[in-house]
Structure 1
């Protein structure tokens, strides 16, 4: 009886250990699936982000410091790296992250972007009859709906689109002006070429014209001599 009791007590741990191991495997599988799903979601978020606002692509605050931007870029680029993410457009999302980080690392480009966002901020605050010097942490901005961050992103998008339209029009106009200038120069070159060709043609026919004139004057002189001889 004691042997049976001891054998039954020795078997019990092995029976309880199997479900525990299965639970761990299931948990790992669920975590992997959750992580894969989160990667897919993040790729979609990046692809849908407003392309003219690198802050939105990186999902980082406009006040972020350079080292914070680089850190966020490294985190996201590793998280949605095409080697780890089966999403078909993961490479596109990865490229967008890289471009966003590059633009925010360029001091001149970031200053230009920040100026546009500041302009959007001023427009929003004026529309709310609030001081334009108000800090984002002010209590008056904490309770508004939609949130201040959402409204600022939306207004920044509007202003950035307006700026981009103006920029493209300016580029188009410059190209048109350059094309007009190029046509003028081409016409000037062609006019000079025609003039040179006309002068060359004139010079080429000069000897012939001189010869014809000499022949004409010579034959005229002979006729006069013949006439004088007849009269004499």
Structure 2
């Protein structure tokens, strides 16, 4: 009986741990991959890349959607995958090395590079304001301050990128509308020109009919004029 109870409690505790980890991952800023994996990039550690892989493996086993009933597990799992994918890339020493990589690698390397720059910026802001003291490691409270600024910077950058993207989309939509209008006007002009050419014979015939109608009354008036002269002479 006691063993059964222990197993139930152990299962419930395990499920609770998994649910908490899923909630933690989803509460992280989606673009802060270090925070998602709970890794401090400011800590000087030559084994950082190995730590990324080990942490990723441990966390994905914990919340794998096939082993967890939590409906949010797939979403959290995808965030872990993206975080590991970006952070697993080594940043080349020179820009030329980055440019020589394929487009996908270049995208992830630049994303990781930007994130590291944001962490350094957040650290420097707090150091300048003397809210933290520089060291090889930071207290949990200091690191939370750094993470908060990182999140603020990321959200602001993403917001700005979204504004720029929407502006570009509006400009492209406006350009497409103008091109479509020009094309429609060109097609209409061509259609009218074709119609004008197709109706040439009709216009010629109509003109001939019109001129004939005008000429007939003139001939009658001449005839009447001649008769009136005869009457006068008579």
Question: With structure 2 as the length reference, what TM-score do the two structures score?
Answer: 0.71
2-side partners of 1:37 and 1:219: how far apart? 101
Partner Cα distance (1:207, 1:116) in 2: 76
- Counterpart residue number, 2:99: none
Could you say if the C-alpha distance between residues 67 and 194 of structure 1 is closer, same or farther in structure 2, counting changes exceeding 3 Å? same
User: What SS is found at the alignment partner of 2:81?
Assistant: helix
Q: Match of 1:89?
A: 72
**Alignment partner, residue 9 of structure 1:** none
What is the alpha-carbon distance in structure 2 between the residues aligned to residue 151 and residue 176 of structure 1? 38
Segment drifting more, 211-220 vs 40-49 = 211-220
Deviates more, 1:51-60 or 1:162-171: 51-60
Partner of residue 7, structure 1? none
CA contact (8 A) 2:122 2:149 kept: yes
CA distance in 2, matches of 1:39, 1:209: 85
Q: Which runs of no fewer than 5 residues in structure 1 stay unpaired?
A: 1-21
Aligned CA-pair RMSD: 3.3
The 5 A counterparts of 1:88-167 are 88-105=71-88, 106-128=108-130, 135-137=134-136, 147-167=141-161
Match of 1:74 among 50, 57, 62: 57
Distance change in 2, residues 1:107/1:223 (3 Å): same
Determine which of 162, 171, 181 is the counterpart of 1:168.
162
CA distance in 2, matches of 1:100, 1:50: 11
**Which whole-Å CA distance do the structure 2 matches of 1:37 and 1:221 have between them?**
105
Which has the larger Rg? 1
Matched residues in 2 for 1:120 and 1:199: separation?
Answer: 66
**In the alignment, which of 18, 21, 31 is matched to residue 52 of structure 1?**
31
- Using structure 1 for the length normalisation, give the TM-score: 0.71
Q: Which runs of 5+ in 2 are unaligned?
A: 89-107, 227-234
3-state secondary structure, aligned to 1:59? coil
Q: CA deviation at 1:183?
A: 0.6
Aligned residues: 202
TM-fit CA distance, 1:27: 9.9
